[in-house]
């Protein structure tokens, strides 16, 4: 199967890029479930950009650098911030309806933690859903974009494996991907002149996460296997308060609940945050997540509680209508009782290392959105900068491809061999997959979570190794299923996070390790880079 450009993923990054390049080439966009099964669809707060007269690019740059704790690439931060307003306008032009200000202003700009000015454009608390809707509607109108749902990319195709392929002197080249058609069960071989990885994050590698089920780190794992460099995977952002209930996944309890007087208490009803941080319940996101983690580890409890029941019930219902009604639906009346909460993995700051055009270290392979490490976030992402990063880099990568297209489109399309199942048989016992899946997520939560320790990291390295070997054997022995493909990626991502965390012997941003509590600029003010060929 052939296409000019293969885009993997239908979140804000993949859709924005596909829309742009469809003006000069044909695009096939594969997505592993339904098109709107994305983290983009869940984004609540909004998209950060300099959009008011009171704000300036310099302020947004300063806030981003401060949050990144010495590890942002300042040139990239400037590039993203300076492009922000234009990209937000483009979203409006394709039909995104941001909430307008009360006195006729174009935007009702939100204020979020770490931002010195109001700069978050939003569509109530459903911003991501509105962006996804508008992009999908626009994509549906493009004749030369084909969207294939239930198509799961397994591995990237490399020129070095193509019988006809002269490998360029600069190294290998990506020429497409093997894709599992989940409806037929067949593996399709998609050849492309350029391949774009936009597969989102990897929250599912942790026991608790705000991420949707698709977030299994597939793009990073595929790129790593193909020889691309990945960066800064130790920096995982945890949201402090996710609703703890087995029947509902991904439901965030906004930080505004603490802002309005909500108090974190343990199972005995005792407030505990002051023992961990002098700012108490109003400490920053990472400090609160660490406080809750310490409390849960010390008591062995499954969750802690966030109590706003002392406030006037009418105020609580009016101020937090969605949180009130959702919790009520699952048996918790937040005007009368505390809400069970746990911290949860929320955002992957690292990813496939790319340059300012979204190009990875493997020719022909781009990465964008949460899958990429552009240098914008450094050691800690500033809230609402991720949607912005995705649209800015979609634009940059599209420009790059447009510039090189006359040359790229002239080259013959290299072909590799189709996928071979060999002697593989059907996997009869799904418990083989579910057991490993569960083991990895618990291992990561308990050993490589919010607060780290050298000893636990060493144990994690020892435990992930046999799991990786076992999964490799399953891969050879059994016919592919989507679960098996995702499990392999989850194990690779776990290994990369553990290794990156073990290499950074300092505490910085989101990486907090008890054995090295201080930031060490002399030895560690640099990216953590991993490349399969150099390990």
Ligand X SMILES: Cc1cc2nc3c(=O)[nH]c(=O)nc-3n(C[C@H](O)[C@H](O)[C@H](O)COP(=O)(O)OP(=O)(O)OC[C@H]3O[C@@H](n4cnc5c(N)ncnc54)[C@H](O)[C@@H]3O)c2cc1C
Q: Is residue 254 a contact residue for ligand X (CB under 6 A)?
A: no
Which residue among 2, 24, 26, 33 contacts ligand X (CB under 6 A)? 33
The DSSP code sequence of 154-179 is EEEEEGGGSTT-PPPTT--BEEEEEE
**Cross-strand pairs, 181:** 151
**343 sits near ligand X (criterion: CB under 6 A):** no
Name the residue nearer to ligand X (CB basis): 13 or 530: 13
Q: Name the residue nearer to ligand X (CB basis): 197 or 467.
A: 197
Q: Which is nearer to ligand X, 28 or 229 (CB)?
A: 28
Span 126-155, contacts to ligand X by CB under 6 A: 127-128, 152-153
Quick one: which of 6, 7, 13, 344 contacts ligand X (CB under 6 A)?
A: 13
Least distance to ligand X, CB of residue 275, Å? 29
- Which listed residue (3, 31, 229, 500) binds ligand X by CB under 6 A? 31
- Range 203-224 burial, b when 16+ CB lie within 10 A, else e: bbbbbbbbbbebbbbbbbbbbb
- Tokens read off for 373: 């490490």
- Among 3-11, 325-333, 411-419, 507-515, which window interacts with ligand X (CB under 6 A)? 3-11
Residue 220 lies near ligand X (rule: CB under 6 A) = no
How many CA atoms within 13 Å lie on the side-chain side of 425?
3
DSSP state of 274: G
Q: Cα–Cα distance between 127 and 98 in angstroms, integer? A: 8
- 37 is a contact residue toward ligand X (CB under 6 A): yes
Residues 6+ apart with CB under 8 A from 300: none
Is 68 an interacting residue with respect to ligand X (CB under 6 A)?
no
Asked if residue 347 binds ligand X (CB under 6 A), the reply is yes
Least Cβ distance, residue 213 to ligand X (angstroms): 9
Q: At what angle do helices 385-408 and 12-21 cross, to 10 degrees?
A: 30
Residue of 4, 218, 234, 359 that binds ligand X (CB under 6 A) = 218
Helices 127-140 + 12-21 axis angle, to 10: 30
Q: How far is the CB of 299 from ligand X (least distance, A)?
A: 27
Q: How far apart are CA 525 and CA 72, in angstroms?
A: 10
d(CA 368, CA 400): 13
Closer by beta carbon to ligand X, 147 or else 414: 147
Contact yes or no for 424/479 (Cβ under 8 A): yes
Q: Does 494 bind ligand X (CB under 6 A)?
A: no
Interatomic CA distance for residues 39 and 10, integer angstroms? 10
**Residue 271 DSSP symbol:** B
Tell me the CA end-to-end span of the chain in Å, nearest whole number: 34
Q: Does 243 bind ligand X (CB under 6 A)?
A: no
Residues labelled as active-site residues: 285
Among 6, 19, 45, 504, binds ligand X (CB under 6 A): 45
Does 40 contact ligand X by CB under 6 A? Answer: yes
Stretch that binds ligand X, among 136-144, 365-373, 399-407, 445-453 (CB under 6 A): 365-373
Q: How far apart are CA 120 and CA 256, in angstroms?
A: 15
CA distance 167 to 132: 38
Beta strands (DSSP E) in 63-125 are 120-121
Cβ of residue 305: shortest distance to ligand X, in angstroms? 21
CA dist 528 and 353 (Å) reads 10
User: Residue 307's beta-bridge partner residues?
Assistant: 263
Look-up: residue for tokens 């008890």?
514
Q: Which stretch binds ligand X (CB under 6 A): 39-47, 58-66, 74-82, 328-336?
A: 39-47
Binding mask 159-198 for ligand X (x = CB under 6 A): ---------------------------------------x
Residue span 257-276 as binding mask against ligand X, x where in contact by CB under 6 A, dash where not: --------------------
Among 26, 44, 181, 531, binds ligand X (CB under 6 A): 44
Q: Is 84 in the site for ligand X (CB under 6 A)?
A: no
Nearer to ligand X, 228 or 263 (CB): 228
Identity of the residue, 172 or 486, whose beta carbon is nearer to ligand X in the bound complex = 486
**Residues whose CB is less than 8 angstroms from the CB of residue 258 and which lie 6 or more positions away in sequence, other chains included:** 241, 264, 281, 282, 288, 306
Q: Which residues make up the interface to ligand X (CB under 6 A)?
A: 8-14, 30-33, 37-40, 42-47, 127-128, 152-153, 198-200, 210-211, 214, 218, 250, 252, 347, 369-371, 384-387, 390
């Amino acid at each position: 199967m052939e296409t000019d450009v293969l885009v993997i993923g239908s979140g804000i990054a993949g859709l924005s890029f596909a829309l742009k390049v469809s003006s000069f080439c044909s695009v096939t966009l594969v997505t592993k479930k339904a098109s709107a099964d994305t983290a983009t669809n869940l984004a609540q707060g909004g998209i950060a950009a300099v959009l008011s007269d009171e704000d300036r690019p310099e302020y947004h740059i300063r806030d981003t650098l401060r949050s990144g704790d010495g590890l942002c690439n300042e040139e990239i931060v400037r590039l993203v911030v300076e492009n922000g307003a234009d990209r937000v306008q483009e979203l409006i032009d394709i039909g995104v309806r941001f909430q307008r200000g009360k006195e006729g202003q174009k935007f009702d700009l939100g204020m979020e933690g770490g931002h010195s000015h109001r700069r978050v454009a939003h569509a109530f608390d459903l911003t991501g859903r509105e962006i996804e809707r508008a992009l999908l509607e626009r994509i549906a109108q493009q004749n030369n974009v084909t969207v294939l749902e239930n198509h799961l990319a397994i591995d990237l195709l490399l020129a070095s494996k193509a019988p006809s392929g002269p490998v360029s002197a600069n190294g290998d080249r990506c020429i497409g991907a093997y894709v599992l058609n989940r409806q037929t069960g067949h593996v399709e071989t998609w050849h492309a002149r350029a391949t774009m990885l936009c597969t989102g994050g990897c929250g599912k590698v942790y026991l608790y996460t705000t991420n949707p089920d698709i977030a299994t780190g597939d793009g990073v794992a595929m790129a790593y296997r193909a020889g691309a460099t990945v960066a800064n995977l130790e920096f995982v952002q945890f949201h402090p308060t996710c609703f703890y209930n087995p029947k509902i996944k991904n439901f965030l309890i906004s930080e505004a609940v603490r802002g309005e007087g909500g108090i974190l208490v343990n199972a005995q009803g005792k407030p505990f945050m002051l023992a961990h941080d002098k700012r108490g319940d109003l400490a920053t996101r990472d400090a609160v997540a660490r406080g809750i983690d310490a409390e849960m580890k010390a008591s062995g409890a499954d969750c802690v509680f966030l109590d706003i029941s002392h406030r006037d019930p009418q105020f609580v219902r009016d101020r937090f209508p969605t949180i009130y009604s959702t919790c009520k639906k699952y048996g918790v009346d937040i005007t009368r009782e505390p809400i069970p909460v746990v911290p949860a993995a929320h955002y992957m700051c690292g990813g496939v290392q790319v340059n300012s055009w979204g190009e990875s270290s493997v020719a022909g392979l781009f990465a964008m959105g949460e899958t990429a490490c552009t240098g914008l976030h450094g050691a800690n992402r500033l809230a609402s900068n991720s949607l912005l990063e995705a649209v800015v880099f979609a634009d940059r990568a599209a420009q790059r491809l447009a510039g090189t297209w006359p040359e790229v489109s002239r080259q013959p399309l290299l072909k590799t061999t189709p996928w071979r199942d060999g002697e593989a048989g059907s996997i009869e016992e799904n418990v083989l997959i579910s057991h490993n899946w569960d083991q990895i997520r618990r291992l990561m939560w308990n050993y490589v979570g919010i607060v780290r320790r050298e000893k636990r990291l060493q144990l994690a390295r020892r435990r992930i190794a046999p799991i990786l070997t076992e999964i490799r054997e399953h891969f050879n022995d059994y016919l592919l299923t989507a679960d098996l493909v995702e499990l392999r990626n989850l194990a690779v991502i776990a290994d990369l996070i553990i290794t990156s965390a073990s290499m950074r012997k300092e505490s910085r941003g989101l990486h907090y390790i008890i054995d090295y509590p201080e930031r060490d600029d002399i030895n560690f003010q640099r990216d953590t880079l991993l490349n399969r060929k150099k390990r």
